[in-house]
Structure 1
Amino acid sequence: MKIFSTCPQSKDVDSTIYRDRVIEVAKWSERFGCEGILVYTDNGIVDPWEVAQIVVENTETLSPLVAVQPAYMHPYTVAKKLSTFAYLYGRRLWINMVAGGFVNDLLALGDETPHDERYDRLVEYTLIVRQLLQNAEPVTVDGKYYTVKNLKMAPPIREDLVPGVTISGSSDAGMAAAAAIDAVAIRYPKPPDEESGVPEEAQGPVGVRVGIIARETNEEAWQVALARFPEDRKGQLTHQMAMKSSDSLWHKQLSERPEGGPQAASPYWLGPFHNYKTFCPYLVGTYDEVSNLIASYIGFGFETFILDIPDSIEELEHISKVFDQARVVATA
C-alpha cells in the first residue's frame, strides 16, 4: 500500500512564506512515511517542477508526484526533467498525467480537444515519455498527436529511478488510458455501502483520493472538520460555476451527491468539496469509524491513497493512527 500527501498550492499561501510551507509539509509527509507528495498544476499556480525541486532538496526519500499537463510542454521535456532529477539527486519521481483541467484554462491555451480524445492524446504522450526513459536506442514515433524521429534521452536514467505514473480513473476513458500506459488509476471513492471496488476492466493497480479527520470522539472530529472547512457561500457559488464549465466526470459525480455532515449516519463528507475548499471527499469520525472505512477500501482492492493537503504534523499523526488500525482490520 502506498500513501501520498498533497503539497500546498501557491494560490493559498503568501509568496513570502510559500517555499517554507512546502518544505514544512514535505518534511511532515516524509516523517509520516509517505511514498510521495502530489504537486498540482494549472494556469493559476506556480510551476510544479520548481516545487518538486524544493521537495527533493529538503527531504531524503519523499517522491514528488508531479502533475503533467500535455498542453504545457512536449513529452521530451518531461522525460528530460525526470532524467535530470535522477542524475542530479539520485531520486525517483512520480508523474500524475492530467488529461483535462479547468476548461477555461484549456481554452486559454487554444486546446479544444474533446474529453475522451484528450485521454487518447495522453496515452500517446506518456508512451513517448516512457520509451525515452526506458530505451537505450533512439525513439521514433509517428503518432496522431506527436512525432519524434531518432530521439534519444541523455543522460540515461537508472532502471530503479524510472518514474511511477498515476492518472485519473473516474471515467471509462481514464481506465482505458491507465491500462495502456501501465499507470495507477486514481478514483474518488464512493461511500463503502455503495462502492463496488476495483472495476473489472482494470488491468493494474487502482487507488483513491480522500481526506481524513479522525479523533477519539465523533464530536471532536466534527468540531475540527467544521472549523477547518466552514460553510462558505462564496465558495459554494464558485463550485457551481466550476461545475458548469467542467467536463470532468468525477467533478459531476461528486457534485450530484448529498453533502452529508455531522448529522448524517456516515463519516463520508463532501462539505469541503461543495464549498470549493478541496477536490475530494472527506472521512470524518472516530479512529475506529474511519479506520474501518479505510479497511473497507483496502478490502475493495485499492492499493494507493492520495491524501488531501495536511493541516499540521499533528493531523498526519492522527491519520497515521487510522492507517495503522486499518491495516490490522484489513488483515484480519
Structure 2
Amino acid sequence: MVEFFTGLQPLETGETDPEKLIERVRELDRSEVIDRVLVGYSSTWPHNHATAPFALALTEKFSPIIAHRPGVMSPVAAARYFATLDVLARGRLAINVVVGGSEKDLRRESDDLPKAERYRRAIEYLDIVRRTWTSPEPFDHHGAYYAAEAVKILTKPQQGQVPIFMGGESADAVDFGARHADLYMLWGEPFAGTKERIQRVMAAAEGYDRTMRFSLSLRLFVGDTDDDAWAQARSAERQIGESSGKFLRSSSTDTSVGRRRALALTDEELHDDCFWSGLTKLLGGFANSQALVGTEERILNTLGTYRDLGVDTFLVTTGAEAAWDPALESFLARAKKELA
C-alpha cells in the first residue's frame, strides 16, 4: 500500500484569525488521498502543541504528524502529553522527532548542545518515552541527560506506542533512526541517491534487529502536458525569486549533511526523467524544495521507480509555498491505485 502525506503551516505569519487554519484543516479532512499531515515546528511559529489539538477537535479523519524537538520538554512530560493526545485523537497521532535543524533556532529555545550530543540525548529521550508508554510498572531512570523516579502514566497511547518518524543524513541521524524510527523520512533525491540512502539506513536498522519504512518528500508540478507542468514550476520559481524573504529558506549557517547533499544536486537542474532541483538552489538547500515536473504519466512512472526502490510513502506539496492543493487529489487517487 502507498500512502500520501502533506504539510500544513499552522498559521500564517502574524495571523491572528484562525478562520484560514480552520478552512485548510477541513479541506484536508475531506481529502480521500491524504493519510497524514505534517504540522511543523520552529521556535518562531505558533506552537503545534496548540494548533494540532485544535485541528483534531475540528475533524474526523485528519491525522497529524506533530514535529517535536527532544530537549524542549522532559521526556516523561512528552510521553504523557502525546499519550493523552493520541487517546483524544482516537489513535490518529504520529510524531516527527526533529533533532537537527538550525543552530540559531535551537539556541532561541535555550538548546546549545552540539549536534552529535543532541543525537545522543535524543536516543536517551526516546528510550524513556517508549518505556513510559509501555512499562506496566513504575520505573526509575538515571542517565547521562535525564533522571526520573517512579515514572508511570495512567493513560497509555491508544496505539500502544505513537509512531515515531524522523529524517537526517548524518551518521548520527542514521544511527538514531535505526534505533527508534518507525518511518524514515527522506528528502527528495534522484534515483541513485535515494537507493544509496535507503540501503544505508536499512543496514543500520538490521544491526538493531529492526525493519524500516521510508517516505520521500517532493513538490509536484503536474500538467496535462509537459509545457503546462513547466509553466507551473517556473511560476513558482518566479514567485520565490521576486519575493523578499517570504518563503522558507535554509539558513546560510546550516552546515548539515542533508543541506550540503541537497545543494550538490543543483549543479544540474534536471535529473533522471523529471526530477528538478531549481527551487533547491533558489531556497539554499531547503529540505522540501526538490520537485517532480511533468505529465501524470511521467510523474507516475517516476513515483513507481521510487516505489521499487523501497519508498512506500510520499510527502507531497506543490507551488511556491510548498502547500497542499486539492488539484492534486485526482492524480494521487490514480497513483494510489496504480502503485499499490
Q: Could you say which TM-score interval applies, normalised by the shorter chain?
A: 0.7 to 0.9
1:221 is the counterpart of 2:229: yes
Runs of 4+ in 1 over 4 A off after TM superposition: 233-240
Instruction: Please list the CA deviations of residues 116-162 of structure 1 after superposition, one character each: whole Å capped at 9, or x if unmatched.
Output: 2211111111121111112221132211111111111122333x353
User: Which residue in 2 is equivalent to 1:307?
Assistant: 316
TM-score of the two chains, using structure 1 as the length reference? 0.86
- SS at structure 2 position matched to 1:244: coil
Instruction: Quote the RMSD (CA, aligned, Å).
Output: 2.8
In 2: Cα distance, 1:317 partner to 1:310 partner: 16
The C-alpha deviation readout for 1:74-107, integer Å capped at 9, x for no partner, is: 1122212222223334233100001022111122
Which residue of 1 is the match for residue 40 of structure 2? Answer: 40
**Amino acid across the alignment from 2:323:** P
Q: Given that residues 259 and 271 in structure 1 are in contact (C-alpha distance below 8 angstroms), is that contact kept between their aligned partners in structure 2?
A: no
Q: How does 1:86-235 map to 2 (within 5 A)?
A: 86-158=86-158, 160=159, 162-197=161-196, 198-200=198-200, 201-203=203-205, 204-230=212-238, 231-232=240-241
Matched, 1:279 2:292: no
- Counterpart amino acid of 2:219? G
**TM-score in terms of structure 2 length:** 0.84
- Determine the structure 1 residue equivalent to 2:73: 73
Q: Is the 8 A contact 2:68 2:95 kept in 1?
A: yes
Is 2:304 the partner of 1:295?
Answer: yes
Query: 1:26 & 1:127 partners in 2: Cα distance?
Result: 35
Shift of 1:61: 2.5
Q: Would you say the 8 A contact 1:19–1:54 is kept in 2?
A: no
Partner Cα distance (2:14, 2:26) in 1? 15
Contact residue 222 and residue 229 of structure 2 kept, 8 A: yes
Cα distance change of structure 1 residues 259 and 324 upon mapping to structure 2, 3 Å threshold: farther
Instruction: Give the CA deviation at 1:235.
Output: 6.4
Cα distance in 2 for partners of 1:30, 1:5 equals 14
How far apart in 1 are the matches of 2:54 and 2:43? Answer: 20
Q: Distance in 2 between matches of 1:265 and 1:152?
A: 51
| Structure 2 Cα separation of the partners of residues 237 and 46 of structure 1 | 17
CA distance in 2, matches of 1:20, 1:257: 35
Match of 1:10 in 2: 11
Aligned to 1:307, the other structure's residue is in SS state strand
How far apart in 2 are the matches of 1:243 and 1:13?
A: 21
Q: Which moved more, 1:223-232 or 1:92-101?
A: 223-232
Letter in 1 for 2:282: N
SS of the counterpart of 2:312?
strand
| Structure 1 residues 133 and 244: alpha-carbon distance in aligned structure 2, compared to 1, 3 A threshold | same
> In 2, Cα distance between the equivalents of 1:260 and 1:15?
42
SS, match of residue 35 in structure 1:
strand
| Compared CA separation, residues 91 and 82, structure 1 to 2 (3 A) | same
Structure 2: 5+ residue stretches without partners? 206-211
Aligned residues between the structures? 323
CA distance in 1, matches of 2:245, 2:56: 36
Closer/same/farther in 2, CA of residues 209 and 30 from structure 1, 3 Å limit: farther
140-149 or 107-116, which deviates more: 107-116
For structure 1, the residue ranges without an aligned partner over 5 or more in a row are: none
Deviation at 1:311, TM superposition (A): 4.0
For 1:244-263, what aligned pairs fall within 5 Å after superposition? 244-258=252-266
